[in-house]
Structure 1
Amino acid sequence: MLKKFKIPYRMLILLITAGVLAASLQICSLKPYQISVFYWITHHKDLYFLSVGILFFILLGLWALFNNIYCALIVAVAGIGALDISQYDKLKLLHEPVYPWDLKQVENLSEMLNIVRNKVSPVLVISLLILILVGIVATYWIPRKKIKLSQRVMYILASGAVILGCTHLQSSVLAAPLAKMGAVDYHWDQKQNYLDNGFMLAFLDNIGAKIETQPADYNQATMKNIMKKYENTTASAAIQSTQEQPNIVFVMDESLFDPTRLTNMTFSEDPMQNFHGFKDTYGTGYSLSPVFGGGTSNVEFEALTGLNMSFINEGGVPYQQVLAKKNNFPSLVSLLKSRGYDATAVHPFDKTFYNRDRVYPVLGFDKFISQDDIKYKDKLSSEGYISDMSAIKQVVDVLNAGADKPQFIHLVTMQNHLPVMDGMNGTNTIQVSGIQDSAAKVEMESYAEGVKETNKADQFLVDSIQQLTRPTIVVVFGDHLPALQSYDGHVAEMTADQKEEFMHQTPLLVAANFPLQEKNLGTIAPSFFGPMVMSLTGQKQPAYYQLLEQIKQQLPGVSPAVYVDGNGTATTELNDDQKKLLHDYELVQYDLLYGKGYAASMLK
C-alpha cells in the first residue's frame, strides 16, 4: 500500500525540509537582533509559510533537475546552510544582510574565505562539509526512483514560476496577493525588508531590482532644463593654477581610520603621527564615507564618478549591478582621458573582486595593475596582504615612467583589510590602554600597527612627488572605518547625528608639490573629490562639476547616513534650497545610471 504513496511521501519530505530550512534562515537573520524566531513566526505566519512554500518549490525544481531527490536535498541543505552562515556573520560584522549580488563573490571564494577566516565558526564549516560528504555517499548508494520527463518539466516550470513571481515585488503579478499576506516593499531600507518580509522573500525581491528608483519628474524636458541651468553657471575660481596639466593621484587606503579619536583610550605611540603632521603643510580633513566596515567599491564609485550613494537603495552595489553591464560610463577618468591623461588603476588583490576587471575599462582606465601584475609584493607578515608600501612604490613607478604625459592614478590598498589579527601586520609595537576586553585590546593594537605602517607608506608618497618636475596632487583617504569591537562606550556622549558622522569619517589628505592655500578641508563626501581637485589645480570645470560645486558649498558632506552642512554641522534636516539642489543631483544620477543619458554631455 505504501507504494501508492511514494510521490506524496517524497513531497512530504521536501515540505518538512523546506520548513526546517526556512526556520534556519530566520534564526540566522534574527539572532543578531536578539529577536526570537518563534516571536517572528507568530507575528508573520503568512510570510513564514510563504517562505516554506518558496523553498518547497525550489526543492521540487532541484529534484526534477537532477532526477534524484537525495541530490536535491544535499544541494539545497548545503546551499541554505552556506546562506545561514553568511547571513549571520555579515549581520554581526557589517550590520547588513546577504544580497543576491553577494553571490557573485563565489568567483573569489578562496579570497573570501581568507578575509573571513577568523569570523566564521570552524565547527559550522566542518559540519557543512560533513553533511555534503554524507549526502554524496547517500546519492550514490541509496536506491532512488526517477520521475518521468513530463513531471520533471512540470516541476521545473512550477518552481521557476514561483521564484519569478516573488521577484520584483513592485511589478510582479503576485504583488497584490503578496501585499495581502503582509509583504511590504522596503528597497530603501534593507534591514526592515529582511526583518518584515523574511529572508526568502526579501532576497528574491532584490533579484534584478534597480538600485535607484526613478524620480517622478524624470523626463527629457526636465533634464534639458538642468543641463541649461548648470552649463550657464560660472565655475568656482581656482585656488591654485598650475602651468601644465598636473598628475592626479587618488589613494584609497583600506579601512584607514584615526583610532586616537576614540575617547577613554590611550596609545603608547601615535600611529597617525605623520598624518597629524601634514596639517601644517597640506590640506587635511575628513572623507564622509557612505559605508561602514565594508563596501569599498561604493566609496570608489563616488570618488570616480561624482555620483552619490545617498540616492541608491540600501544594499546596492553599482559596480556589480550597473557598471559591469555597460560598455562605457562618464567619470572623472573619462574626463581626464579626454584631456590627454593616461589613466592607471592599481589594486594589489584579485582583479575580479567587485568586477573591477570589467568596471575599470568602462570608467576609462587604460591599465589595471592587480596582484598578478604588481612589481612589489612585500607583506608585513606571511598571513597579511600586499603592503601599502609595496602598492605606493608601484604608484611612484607609474608616475616616473609616465613623466612625458599627465597621469591619473587610482590606488585601492589592501593591507588593513579584515581580518584584524595579532601579528598580521607584524609585531605589535603600540600598546593600547583603556580597553577592558583582552581580545578587543589585541585587535586594536594590531590595527594600530597597520595604521602606523600605512602612515609610513603615505609619507613615502608625499616625499616622492616632491622629486617630480610635473605638478602633482595626491588625494589620500580611507574607504571606511574598520569593523572593530572597540567603538561602543567611546562615542557614548555624542548625539545621534554626531555619532553617524563620526562612524563615517575617515582621514583625508590633499598634498602637492606646489603650494596649496586651503589647509582645512573640513568633512567632504568622496563624490566631490573630482571638482575639488579640478579647482585646486585650476582646470576647467565641466557643467556636472559646477552642479557638484554648488552642492558642496551648502552640503560638503552628503551620505546615506547623515549630511554635513557648510558650517561643519552634522544633520539629517535640509532646507528648501538644499533639497532642490539634491533633487537635481538625483535626476542627473538616475539619468546616467538607468535613464536616456541626456546628462552625459555635462561631464565633458
Structure 2
Amino acid sequence: MRKIFISLFTSGVFGAAVSFFVVFILQYFHFGNNFEQVSVFIKENTKLSMLGILLVFIIFTWLGLIFRSSVIAGFLLIVFASVAGFASSQKQQLRGEPLYPSDIVFLKDATFFLDVVDKRLLLILIFVLLFTIVSIGFYLFKRKRSSTPRPLLRFVGILGTSLLLFQVYNFNQPGNKVKAIFNNYVSWISYSQSDNYTKNGVVAGLLYNLKAPALDKPLGYSQERIEEIYNKYSKEADLVNENRVGLLEDVNIIYIMNETFADIHRLEGITIDGGDSLELYRDLPGQHGYALSQVYGGGTANVEFEALTGIPQEPLNGNISIPYIHLSQQIGQLPSITDFLIESHQLTAIHPHNSTMYKRYDNYNAMGFDELIFKDDMSYSETIDRSPYISDQSSYDELMGVMTESEKRDFIHLVTMQNHMAYTDKYDNVQFQVDGTEDNEEVRHYLKGMSYSDIAVADLIDKLENFDEKVLLIFWGDHLPSLFNEDVKALNGYRSMHETPLLIYSNFSEISDNLGTISPFYFINNVLRITDTKITPYVALLQRLEKALPAFEKNFYLERETGIKNTRKELKQSTQVLLNELDLILYDITTGKNHSKKLGFY
C-alpha cells in the first residue's frame, strides 16, 4: 500500500509540474517569447492559471492511465504544447489571430503547408514528431510490465477522467458546469480572439473556441416574435416585388473571389515604384467600390461564407471562427444565393486547389452546386514562371469553358489561388521596387502577381463584353496580404487594411455608380437589384440593413449617416433595431426552431 501511495504521490507531483510547464509554454509563445509578460499574467491571474493547470492535469492523468505511464503522458503534453504554441505564434504573425481547436482540420491538407511555412521550421517540426513517436515506441518496448496492473482501478480512473473531459469538450453548451467555473475568473472577448487569449489565457481561449451554438439566445426570442418579423418584411418584399419584372433565369451570374486581390498602392507608409499593378482594373466598366473583408492576411472561407449565404459573421458567437467548419452540418439549411438559382441555372464551383480546405467539397454540395471543379479536374492548369498555383488566366479560361458548354444559364462561383502566399521568387522580370515593409522583396513579387491578375481580369471582361448571353459579374478580393508591420497598420487604420477592390459588371445593363464600401453578405441584394428580380423577406431585411449600415463586422460599423463606430451601442437606435431583428432571425435559423424556414422567410 505504501508503494502505491508513493507512486501516486510521485506521479501527482510530476503531473502538476508538467501541467504548469505546459500552461507556461502556451502563454510564452502567445506573448511573443516574453518571459516577463508570462510571469505577470500568471501573478495577476493566479486562480485562472490554476484552473488551466488543473485542466491540463486531468488530461495528463487520462493519458497516464491510457499509456500506463506518467513519463509518456508528460512527454506527449510538452511536445503538444510546444508544437501548438509555435503554430499559434506563426498564425498570429500571418493572420493576426491565434490557433483554434478547429484548425486541426488543416492537417488533412498537409501539402498546403509546404507552400506557406518556412521549410526549415517544417523540417524541425517533422523531426520533433518523429522523435516523439520513436521515443514512445522505444520506451514502451523497454518498459517492464507491472505484475499488478489493477485493471479495475485503472478502468475507474479512465472512466472518471473521460467524463470530466467530455464536460470540457462541451464547454460552450448551455449550462456547462466547467464554463460556469471559468466564468467567475474571466472576461470573455468575442470580437477579437487574439485579445481574448491575451486577456484570459491560452487555455481559456482554446476552451472558448470549442464547438458552440452559433448564437446565444437573444432576448425576446419566440415563435410569435419571428412571425412578427416575417410579417413586417414579407410586406416590404411584396412592395418591392410589385415593380420588379426581371427574370433571373435569363442571366448568367458569376462570383469571382480573387485570392489576395488588393490595392496596396493606396496605403500610406510604403513607397512603390515601377508602375500601377492595377492599371487596367481601374478603367474597367461597371460599378467600382470596396468590399469590407472581416479578415486580414487569410481567412478566405469566412469571406466566401458571407458572400454565398448573405449571413454576416458579426452576430455569430466569437468562437464560431470558421463557419464553413463550425456550421458545416447546417450549411444546407441556411439562406444562400443558390436558393434563387438552383432550379433555373447550372451551378458550378471552381477552386484551383484541393477540395479538403475548409470542407469546401461538403459545403458546396450542401448548397446545391451541380458541378465541383478542383485543381485536378481543371482543363486549364497553367502556372506562371515558378509559381506553384494555377494562374488567374487559366482559372478564367476554365470559367469561360464551363459557361460556353453549358446548355442552361450558369451560376459560377470561382475562388482563385494565383496570389496566395508565399510570394518571393515566384516571378521573373519583377519591375516593382518597394520600401517601407518588413519584407520588400516579398511585396515586389506580390505586386508582380497582381499585375498578372490585372491583365487577366481585363481580358475576362473583354470576353464577357462580347459573350452572346447576359452576364452579371461580382468580382472582389478576399483580403489584403499579411505583409505589413504594425506601424503601417496603425497609420492606415482598420478600414483601409480591410477594404479590397470590388467590381460589379454587367454586359446587358449600364451600371457605373460608385458602390462605396459594402460587406460581402450584401452581394445578394445587388444581384437581385441589377437583374430586377423579386426578393424574399430575408433579402428585404438585408436591403433595409444595407441602407443604414452598408458595411460592418465585429468591432467595426460603417453607418451611412454617422460614419464609423466601434460598438453597436454607438449606432442609431433604428439601426440597432435592425440588427436585433437580424439576431433573432439568425438565432432561429442556426440554433432555434427555424420557424423562419417554415414561414418562407428565405
Q: TM-score, normalised by structure 2?
A: 0.91
Q: Is the 8 A contact 1:534 1:540 kept in 2?
A: yes
Q: Does 1:412 align with 2:415?
A: yes
Percent identical among aligned pairs is 26
Q: Residues of 2 paired with 1:169 and 1:330: CA distance? A: 24
User: In the alignment, does 2:564 pair up with 1:570?
Assistant: yes
Any idea what SS the aligned residue of 1:207 has? coil
Q: How does 1:11-410 map to 2 (within 5 A)?
A: 11-31=12-32, 36-117=37-118, 120=121, 123=124, 126-127=127-128, 129-143=130-144, 145=146, 147-166=149-168, 167-168=171-172, 171-180=175-184, 182-233=185-236, 234-235=239-240, 245-263=250-268, 264-278=270-284, 281-316=285-320, 317-325=322-330, 327-338=332-343, 340-402=344-406, 404-410=407-413
Task: Out of 590-599 and 560-569, give the one that drifted further.
Answer: 560-569
| Deviations 1:34-64, CA, capped at 9 Å, x for gaps | 9611111111112222222211211211122
Alpha-carbon spacing, 1:599–1:169, altered in 2? closer, same or farther (3 Å): closer
Q: Report the CA distance between 1:411 and its aligned residue.
A: 0.6
| Aligned CA distance change for structure 1 residues 480 and 201 (closer, same or farther; 3 Å) | same
SS in 2 for 1:584: helix
Residue type of the partner of 1:6?
S
Superposed CA offset, 1:466-499 (max 9, x none): 232210011110111111135734762x5xxxx2
Distance 1:3 1:576, change over 3 A: closer
Indicate how the Cα distance of structure 1 residues 4 and 541 shifts in structure 2: closer, same or farther if over 3 A, else same: closer
1:586 aligns with 2:583: yes
Give the Cα–Cα distance (whole angstroms) in 2 for the partners of residues 577 and 378 of structure 1.
Answer: 51
The alpha-carbon deviation at position 170 of structure 1 amounts to: 5.9
Q: Say if 2:478 and 2:500, in contact at 8 Å, map to a contact too.
A: yes
Partner of 1:518: 512
Over aligned residue pairs, what C-alpha RMSD do you find? 2.7
The Cα shift of 1:241 comes to 5.4
Instruction: Pick closer, same or farther for the CA change 1:188–1:266 going to 2, 3 Å.
Output: closer
The match for 1:504 is: 498
Provide the rounded CA distance (Å) in 2 between the counterparts of 1:555 and 1:177. Answer: 38
CA gap 1:362/1:28 in 2 versus in 1, 3 angstroms: same
User: How many Å separate the matches in 1 of 2:74 and 2:282?
Assistant: 57
- Stretch of structure 1 that moved more, 549-558 or 475-484: 549-558
Counterpart-to-counterpart distance in 1, 2:403 and 2:379: 14
CA drift of 1:211 comes to 3.2
Distance 1:487 1:271 in 2: 24
SS in 1 for 2:289: strand
User: Number of aligned pairs?
Assistant: 590
Opposite residue 251 of structure 1, the aligned amino acid is I
In 2, are the aligned partners of 1:302 and 1:309 still within 8 Å (CA)? yes
TM-score normalised by length of structure 1: 0.90
Query: What SS does the corresponding residue of 1:249 show, helix, strand or coil?
Result: strand
Larger CA deviation: 184-193 vs 220-229? 184-193
Q: Displacement of 1:501 after TM fit?
A: 1.4
Deviation for aligned residue 1:82: 2.0
Distance 1:274 1:527, change over 3 A: same
Deviation at 1:127, TM superposition (A): 4.3
Shift of the alpha carbon at 1:345? 0.8
In the alignment, residue 266 of structure 1 is paired with which amino acid? I
1: CA distance, partners of 2:9 / 2:401 = 69
Name the counterpart of 1:474: 473
What do residues 214-253 of structure 1 show as CA deviations (whole Å, max 9, x unaligned)?
2111211111111111111122898995796200000001
Shift of 1:396: 0.8
Distance change (3 Å), C-alpha of 1:442 and 1:144: farther
Q: Which runs of 5+ in 2 are unaligned?
A: none
Kept in 1: contact 2:234–2:601 (CA 8 A): no
SS in 2 for 1:218: coil
Give the C-alpha shift of residue 198 in structure 1. 2.0
* Partners of 2:474 and 2:562 in 1: CA distance: 20
CA change 1:244–1:329 in 2 (3 A) is closer
Alignment partners' CA distance in 2, 1:579 and 1:568:
13
Instruction: Give yes or no for contact 1:284–1:510 (8 Å, CA) kept in 2.
Output: yes
Partner-residue secondary structure (3-state), 2:431: coil
* Shift in alpha-carbon separation, 1:337–1:119, aligned structure 2, 3 A: farther
Distance in 1 between the 2:421 and 2:216 partners? 32
Q: Which amino acid aligns with 1:469?
A: D
| Matched-pair contact (CA < 8 Å) for 2:191–2:555 | no
Alpha-carbon distance in 1 for matches of 2:345, 2:234: 24
Cα drift, residue 159 of structure 1 = 2.2
Q: Name the CA distance, whole Å, in 1 between partners of 2:199 and 2:160.
A: 26
1: distance between equivalents of 2:93 and 2:34?
A: 9
Distance 2:332 2:472 in 1: 29
Distance 1:568 1:472 in 2: 36
Letter in 1 for 2:266: R
CA distance in 1, matches of 2:280, 2:33: 38
Cα separation, 2, equivalents of 1:552 and 1:93: 31
Is 1:544 matched with 2:538? Answer: yes
Tell me, in whole angstroms, the C-alpha distance in 1 between the residues paired with 2:565 and 2:51.
40
Partner in structure 2 of residue 595 of structure 1: 592
Task: Indicate the SS of the match to 1:377.
Answer: coil
Query: Structure 1 pair 9/390, CA: closer, same or farther in 2 (3 Å)?
Result: same
Aligned to 2:554: 560
Instruction: Rate the CA distance shift 1:22–1:515 in 2: closer, same or farther, 3 A.
Output: same
Code of the aligned partner of 1:336: L
Write the deviation string for residues 528-581 of structure 1: whole angstroms up to 9, x where unpaired: 101101111121122211211111122211222422233694333311111111
> For the structure 1 residues 238 and 328, does the alpha-carbon distance in structure 2 shift closer, same or farther, using more than 3 Å as the test?
same
- Conserved in 2, the CA contact under 8 Å of 1:57 and 1:158? no
SS in 2 for 1:384: coil
* CA spacing shift, 1:68–1:144, aligned 2, 3 Å: farther
Please tell me whether the aligned partners of residues 238 and 537 of structure 1 are also in contact (alpha carbons under 8 angstroms): no
